[in-house]
Amino acid sequence: MEGLAGLEGLQGLEGLQGLEALAGLEGLVASPSWDGVVAQDEQDPTDSLWRAARRALNRGDYSTAANLFADITRRYPNSNRAGDAHYWAAFALYKTDDASNLRLARTVIATQKGRYPNAATVREAETLLARIQTALAKQGDEEAGRWLAEHAQATGKPPTGEPGAAQGGGCPGADDEDDLRIAALNGLLQMDAANALPILRKVLARRDACSVVL
């Protein structure tokens, strides 16, 4: 991020100082009651915050974008945009490439999954989580490295039986976790290609077997 060097770069942002710039995000994971809910009017009061957050994101002002998306989730948790705002807040935090922000982004994604399981960005959030874990693993986070190894494993079994026959849950479908697995595998390849290659062969073999019977 241009103009951002770790947490020191946050000090130059107008109205923001150090970790205080991200203080609003703590509420995403620390407040189970969502106190202070603001009723929505017919014009959707999240519009101005959403536009401001996207502008900040587009110009690379990631800490400001994260805080603005967090404002939406905190002030308007029942709005149509609240679930997706979690995703974009996590994405903005991820873009800072700061370890503490990456860990917070990981928790924000978990919060989205728990509170807004039907949000439009839930599947994208799973892929983003793999990217976050990759970034953390590169910075020496052992837990993130284990996560990548675990989620990169191919869990399904190749299909058996006659072509065209009904198959039991071995092949990926619309709701399968292949996107997450492939993203985790990509991260593992960046970290440990030697151990990732056998897993990659299993994934490709499984996908080839599925394509034969389709």
Query: What is the spatial distance between Cα 214 and Cα 209, in angstroms, rounded to a whole number?
Result: 9
pLDDT digits (tens, 9 = 90+) for 28-71: 554 333 333 334 444 788 999 999 999 999 999 999 999 999 99
Q: Does residue 2 lie in a domain region? A: no
Q: Is 22 found in the same domain as 52?
A: yes
Amino acid at 143: E
Between these two residues, 205 and 29, which has the higher pLDDT value? 205
Q: Is 211 found in the same domain as 107?
A: no
Per-residue pLDDT averaged across 159-179, rounded?
47
Q: Is 76 found in the same domain as 50?
A: yes
Q: Is 181 found in the same domain as 116?
A: no
**Looking at residue 79, which CATH number applies to its domain?**
1.25.40
What pLDDT shows up at residue 178? 72
What pLDDT shows up at residue 116? 97
Domain of residue 46 covers: 8-28+41-120
pLDDT digits (tens, 9 = 90+) for 94-126: 999 999 999 999 999 999 999 999 999 999 999
Q: Is 69 found in the same domain as 113?
A: yes
Q: Does residue 143 lie in a domain region? A: yes
* Both structure tokens of 20: 């205080």
Q: Is 192 found in the same domain as 208?
A: yes
Q: Does residue 167 lie in a domain region? A: no
Q: Is 133 found in the same domain as 116?
A: no
Cα–Cα nearest to 65, from 123, 114, 117, 108: 108
Give the phi and the psi of residue 17 in degrees, each rounded to 5. -140, 115
Q: Does residue 36 lie in a domain region? A: no
Cα–Cα nearest to 21, from 79, 73, 82, 62: 62
CA separation (Å) from 113 to 18, 42, 96, 118, 185? 28, 27, 22, 8, 21
pTM of the model: 0.66
Q: Does residue 193 lie in a domain region? A: yes
Characterize 73-88 residue by residue with b for buried, 16 or more Cβ atoms within 10 angstroms of its Cβ, and e for exposed.
Answer: bbbbbebebbbbbbbb
Q: Does residue 72 lie in a domain region? A: yes
Query: What is the spatial distance between Cα 53 and Cα 64, in angstroms, rounded to a whole number?
Result: 7
Per-residue pLDDT averaged across 72-90, rounded?
96
Q: Does residue 33 lie in a domain region? A: no
Q: Is 186 found in the same domain as 96?
A: no
Q: Is 192 found in the same domain as 143?
A: yes
157 has pLDDT over 50: no
Cα–Cα nearest to 96, from 67, 74, 119: 67
* Both structure tokens of 193: 């290609």
185 has pLDDT over 60: yes
87 has pLDDT over 90: yes
180 has pLDDT over 50: yes
Q: Is 146 found in the same domain as 96?
A: no
What is the number of domains present in the chain? 2
Average pLDDT along the chain? 73
CA separation (Å) from 207 to 2, 40, 99, 202? 40, 46, 35, 9
Cα–Cα nearest to 66, from 9, 125, 103, 23: 23
Q: Does residue 57 lie in a domain region? A: yes
76 has pLDDT over 60: yes
85 has pLDDT over 80: yes
